[in-house]
Structure 1
Amino acid sequence: MKSSTEPLSPTRVKLTIEVPFDEFQPSLDQAYKTIGSQVTVPGFRKGKVPAAVVDQRVGRNIVLDEAINSVLPQWYSQAVQEQEIQPLSQPEIDLTKFSDGEPIEITAELDVRPEIVLPDVSAITVEVADAEIADADVDEQIEALRERFATFTEVQRGAQEGDSLTIDLTATDKDGQAIEGAEAQGMPYTVGQGEVLDGLDEAVTGLEAGATVSFATQLVGGELKGKDVDVTVTVTDVKERHLPEVDEEFVQTASEFDTVEELRTDVLDRVTRGKRMEQANEARDLVLEEIIGQVEVPLPESLVAEELGSRREQVTQQLAFAGTSMEAYLEDEGQTAEEFEADLERRVRESITAQFVLDQVVASGDFGIDDAELSQHIMRRAQQSGQDPNAYIQHLMEHNHVPEMMSEVMRGKALASLVESATVKDASGNELELSRLRADGTVATDEELAAEAESRAKAAVEAAEQSADAPHQ
């Protein structure tokens, strides 16, 4: 078998496969066995029917078709590997020459990943925000910790800001008809949140347990979103919140530390590491954005159309889950349907371009992946989706999404390598060495970097020795 390719466009090729008939003969023999085991001929046992008799009973053309259909996928896969093609679509296969006893020719047209000329990444400079850490950042984290250990006391007075209430809600339209789904019983609510309904804070402030009040507002979701409604709210209890004092007793209860100073030092360290990770994420986005803006990447329109359809479906499902319509969403966003489509297509094209760029970097680089890295990535994806990790992993295995997860890890490594090649500065002009940044936000020392390089070199030598010692077949 031999194969060749002919470019039809920057993203589409014609693959030609030529096979001598004698190479096809084993597949033809197997087809005779398969069909022979399915027909019943007096005087012959199942599976022992001679080829000539099979030809008489079902016709040689049927056998030829059976043989070619069974072997075509194998020939196609082999030719794709030989030509180092990266398919992006299912092939359109045409059996151009297929006569009994003659050489066979097959052509296949398919979309392929385009070749990209990457810019000089070392010439790219991006600026990220300063990793400014203020006392207020530490105070905010400690305040959140205090709120976790808050206690509540039921009080016989009017509700005040910060109080925790239990309320019942019902809503009616302007005709006094109850609105289905716009009611709640025993709902916890903190005065001052202002997150449920406009006007609710004002309505409940000053109410004691057992009091009822009505007020006019607009619903924030559902079919009546944005419509005027009347809401009746009943306060069933009022509880005053008590935050613990930040002292050694609180610190020892709420953390593994003994003193307030130790707790503040730890919080400062965690906030600092978080700010570094924010800088790194911003740098990755900016560097990739710069690269995308400097390259011309032809995209297969079939791939763009498929991704557009998938994104539209996701948006539709999310809006349905939120109880709103596309029309209401566009109104909130201040967009027309045409502007939404244009924005969606732009983001799809940028996403596909970014994927192509990173995949090319992966293909031309030397990026490895171990089980620990893959496991960590899958766990992060499970957390982001809000799913149980075990259920998420089972879903991946059942639907063969593990290779997709591996590709995501490799693209992440490719992007990290691009960022390390670029120049990244903060707003104050300081150049950041992101190659030293670890996944937890810590910064590696020279000694740690040297130890890691030595470990990688040792692992490479061991892998080479194992490969040399492995039996060759």
Structure 2
Amino acid sequence: MANIKKIKQEKNKIEIQVTVESDKTNEVFKDTYHQLSRKVKVPGFRTGRIPINILEMNLGMEYINHQVAEKLIEDSYTEALEKSELEPIDIPKVDIVQIEKGKPFIYKMNIEVKPEFTLPSLEKLSIEKKKPEVTEKEIEEELERIRDFHAKLNVVEDRKSEMGDFLMVDYEAFHKDNLLPDSKQENQLIQLGDRIIPEFKEKLVGVKPGEEKEIKVKIPENAEDKKIAGEEIVYKVKINALKEKELPKLDDDFAKSVGDYQKLTDLKEHIKKQLNEQKKYESEREFEDLLMDNVSEKCSFEVPEVLIEKQLENMMKNLEEDLKARNMSLADYYKIIKTNEEKVRSEYRLIAEGQVKKELIIDKVIQDDKITATEDDVDKKIAEIAESTNQKPLKVRAMFEKNRTLDNLKEQIKRGKAIAKLSQMVKIIEI
């Protein structure tokens, strides 16, 4: 059993002294000598029968004390934190004050915790919130997108290609008369007029099936492939087929063909509902960002450096992984955007500090209001996810349990309640 005493506190850094009773210290010394006697080989002595003084002579007291201290700290660490009611935000630094047979074991822990602060009055704070409204134009645009998705491509033989047409082509790319690796493609469907290599596709306007054409394209200086960046590439293209898009007629039959709808008006109503949900979600996210930005400005406290650094490292790791997925290194990225790691880290650090500060504010609301995530809350959230993903609630719950992410879901629920609490404390202006 350990005795705990707070020695000093400086901002969010607290030093406590932990004292383990001498009986426990002697017990661990005895056990350590026994374990070492069974592991160490000393000429002239049987394993497990080595006297204590011989062990001390061969291993040295510094080594033995270290083994004892590790065990005593391991056994008392959790109890010390629980008794002190402290939640470290980083691994505490431990300094041994006293370790000696027959005496209490004493050590200090320097613990960094979340900063203490009081939420300011938010009554006079006004935050704008967009009212989700779906226009007839937006519904028609989405309907056209669905219509375009279900269009047919019909082969055309009696005219030349135009913008918007589709071509079935074979092509290969050359750099300085050398075939580029993996550039030879057959029966590739391309659309004239889209944004992918526009200068390449613009030169295919006015062609007919059976034609062959050479197209020269200048590769941008910032291209990922440094071997051809800024160079001229020659594409040799053969036109196999010309196709034009035929859009389906917008009527009740079309609605029936794309989903469980009886009439075109049913499809439009579904589109309106989806767009409204999307706008509602976007409005909530924008409002949440504005809310937390404004509340953060009004809260005055020092964000712990260790939390900023952790968030910064996570951001840099995510950046590196994102670039890796695009076959790009950090060095290449810095070169393209004409910067260096120091500048990027400096910019990211400001973002990281802001993110950590907001999360600490949310944690404060959760703590002050004793916010919890009940089983009913979890069931409702799972039901929402199930409905939005067209799955059964039991399957969604099973997924969370399998991935061991139910606790993460509970944290999301608590976070949502905290933000809802903050929103009740401000004046919301709908726009």
Structure 2-normalised TM-score? 0.81
Match of 2:55 among 58, 61, 64: 58
2:371 corresponding residue in structure 1: 366
1:127 corresponding residue in structure 2: 128
SS of 1:121's partner is: coil
Structure 2 CA distance for partners of 1:142 and 1:331, relative to 1, 3 Å: farther
1:418 corresponding residue in structure 2: 422
Whole-Å separation in 2 of the counterparts to 1:259 and 1:420: 42
8 Å CA contact retained: 1:284, 1:416: no
Are residue 264 (structure 1) and residue 261 (structure 2) matched?
no
**How far apart are 1:336 and its partner, in Å?**
7.0
1:89-147 CA distance string (max 9 Å, x none):
11221111112111221112232211132222343221133423211111122122223
8 Å CA contact retained: 2:165, 2:244: yes
SS of 2:90's partner is: coil
**How far apart are 1:352 and its partner, in Å?**
1.3
Matches within 5 A, 1:71-150: 71-150=72-151
**How far apart are 1:252 and its partner, in Å?**
1.4
Match of 1:223 among 198, 222, 226: 226
1:273-330 CA distance string (max 9 Å, x none):
2212211111111101111112223233233334323322332332243244557645
**How far apart are 1:184 and its partner, in Å?**
4.4
Are residue 251 (structure 1) and residue 260 (structure 2) matched?
no
SS of 1:291's partner is: helix
Structure 2 CA distance for partners of 1:197 and 1:426, relative to 1, 3 Å: same
Number of aligned residue pairs: give it.
409
1:165 corresponding residue in structure 2: 167
8 Å CA contact retained: 1:161, 1:192: yes
Q: State the one-letter code of the partner of 1:55.
A: I
Are residue 11 (structure 1) and residue 15 (structure 2) matched?
no
**How far apart are 1:251 and its partner, in Å?**
1.1
SS of 2:203's partner is: helix
For structure 1, the residue ranges without an aligned partner over 5 or more in a row are: 383-388, 428-473
Whole-Å separation in 2 of the counterparts to 1:418 and 1:99: 53
8 Å CA contact retained: 1:91, 1:108: yes
Whole-Å separation in 2 of the counterparts to 1:225 and 1:305: 38
Structure 2 CA distance for partners of 1:395 and 1:406, relative to 1, 3 Å: same
1:204 corresponding residue in structure 2: 204
Q: State the one-letter code of the partner of 1:229.
A: E
Taking only the aligned residue pairs, the percentage that are identical comes to 17
59-68 or 144-153: which moved more? 59-68
SS of 1:204's partner is: coil
For structure 2, the residue ranges without an aligned partner over 5 or more in a row are: 390-395
Structure 2 CA distance for partners of 1:376 and 1:72, relative to 1, 3 Å: farther
Whole-Å separation in 2 of the counterparts to 1:226 and 1:413: 51
CA-atom RMSD, angstroms? 3.7
8 Å CA contact retained: 2:69, 2:99: no
Whole-Å separation in 1 of the counterparts to 2:301 and 2:321: 31
Structure 2 CA distance for partners of 1:353 and 1:35, relative to 1, 3 Å: same
Q: State the one-letter code of the partner of 1:166.
A: M
Structure 1-normalised TM-score? 0.74
1:242 corresponding residue in structure 2: 246
SS of 1:236's partner is: strand
